[in-house]
Amino acid sequence: MSRENANTKNIITGCLCALGAETFYGFSFIFTRQAVNFASAFALLGWRFFIAFVVMLALVLTGVVKTNLKKKKLGPLLLMAMLFPTIYFTGETLGIKLTTATESGVFIAAIPITAIIASSLILKKKPFRRQVAGILVTMAGVAITIFAVGTSASFSPAGYMFLVLAVVSYSLYCVMVEKHTEYTGAEITFLILTFGAAAFGIIAMVEAGASGSIPALLTLPFREPAFLAAVLYLGIGSSVCAFFLNNIALAKIGVNRSSSFVGVGTVVTVLAGTFLLGEPFSAAQIVGAAVIIVGVYIANVSLGKKTE
């Protein structure tokens, strides 16, 4: 296979993985809304990453997923796991709690831009003009879709700081995944899920212990079938599968191109909310979804070719 054909194959594979990951993420909001009716955010995260860890560990032990960390430095992997999911989900969870859905959506939608800046500064990889244009169009579509829901403001400095922390931590994580090619997607996924299970499991237990509800936390999935269904999807779909696909995408097509797919999750969330939860779907949301798709197309239309 020629170098050009191999490059095209990598880009197509990376784009498909990014699309798959964002689809998983898009549906995750539906299950999260269902789960928070029964538990706190950290209880949900604790169970989500515990299930994800157990599934990933089983895949590794049975040989379905191959990992080999011998003679590889663990420092960069541990830093990745600290940035994402630990710092990212803590910042996102507390930020969403202290602000409005609209505000948090706008902050999270800024990830493509901060990821490009981080990639340019750290990896010295400047994006092509077509990629920048596509990402800007995608962000415009996300903004249209979010503000179609409402534009109320919380004016919470603490909430804004937590959301900024989430955005920066995820952008740095993306850069590290692209930089450290010595690790496979499976190895990165396994360690971040292990770290996430430990971190959020401890936080959930401390939170439950403070309120005297540890037995309730430990038996929650067995008492609430809806919560069990939610954490199974979030743990297996949005964690194991989506993280694995996302890590492959970052390795195959890099931060700049993969960032253009972030808006796809917004489209999936809006469509899922409309058809599964019966939420209203306005004309503005239709326009926003269309703009997002156009932005993704602009950023990725020149597969395998250099763009200016």
79-120 pLDDT, tens digit each: 999 999 999 989 988 887 788 666 676 787 778 888 888 988
Q: What is the pLDDT of residue 303?
A: 47
Helix (H/G/I), strand (E/B), else coil: 36: coil
CA distances from 266 to 61, 135, 150 (A): 35, 14, 15
What are the mean pLDDT values of the chain's consecutive 10-residue runs (308 residues total)?
A: 76 92 88 83 94 96 91 92 93 82 71 86 84 85 76 75 93 92 91 95 96 95 93 94 92 85 82 78 82 84 49
Q: Which residues are CB-neighbours of 187 under 8 A, at least 6 positions away?
A: 67, 68, 69, 72, 77
The residue among 9, 239, 25, 208 whose CA lies nearest residue 111 is 25
Q: What is the pLDDT of residue 307?
A: 42
Q: Residue 225: is the preceding peptide bond cis (ω within 30°)?
A: no
Q: What is the pLDDT of residue 168?
A: 95
Q: What is the pLDDT of residue 154?
A: 62
Domain range list for the chain = 3-300
